[in-house]
Amino acid sequence: MEARLAHPVYEPLRPWLAGGDLPRLEQLDSAAARAGLQVASGAALRFVAPAVDDENYELRTYRSGGVASRPGNLHDLFNALAWLAFPQTKARLNALHAARIPLEGGQRGRFRDLLTIFDEGGAIVACKDLELIELLRSFRWRELFWERRERVLASMRILVLGHAVLEQALAPWPGITCKVMVATGDDPDREAAAWLDGLPAQATPKLLAPLPIFGYPGWFPGNDQQAFYEDQRYFRPFKRDKIDAGVGQAAAVRNASRAEESPGSAERDAG
Residues 6+ apart with CB under 8 A from 27: 16
State how far the Cα of 253 lies from the Cα of 41, in Å rounded to an integer.
35
pTM: 0.88
Q: 245 vs 21, which has greater pLDDT?
A: 21
pLDDT at site 52: 85
Does residue 195 carry a pLDDT above 80?
yes
Does residue 258 carry a pLDDT above 80?
no
Q: Note the pLDDT tens digit of each residue in 129-182.
A: 999 999 999 999 999 999 999 999 999 999 999 999 999 999 999 999 999 999
Rg (alpha carbons) of the chain, rounded to whole number:
18
**Contact 61/68 with Cβ under 8 angstroms?**
yes
Does residue 267 carry a pLDDT above 70?
no
State how far the Cα of 139 lies from the Cα of 254, in Å rounded to an integer.
10
Q: Note the pLDDT tens digit of each residue in 166-176.
A: 999 999 999 99
State how far the Cα of 44 lies from the Cα of 66, in Å rounded to an integer.
8
pLDDT at site 47: 98
Q: Note the pLDDT tens digit of each residue in 203-241.
A: 999 999 999 999 999 999 999 999 999 999 999 887 644
- Identify the CA nearest to 270 among candidates 112, 74, 123: 123
State how far the Cα of 184 lies from the Cα of 181, in Å rounded to an integer.
10
Backbone phi, then psi, for 265, in 5-degree steps? -90, 180
Q: Interhelix angle for 25-35 vs 74-85, to 10°?
A: 20
Q: Residue range 82-103: average pLDDT? A: 97
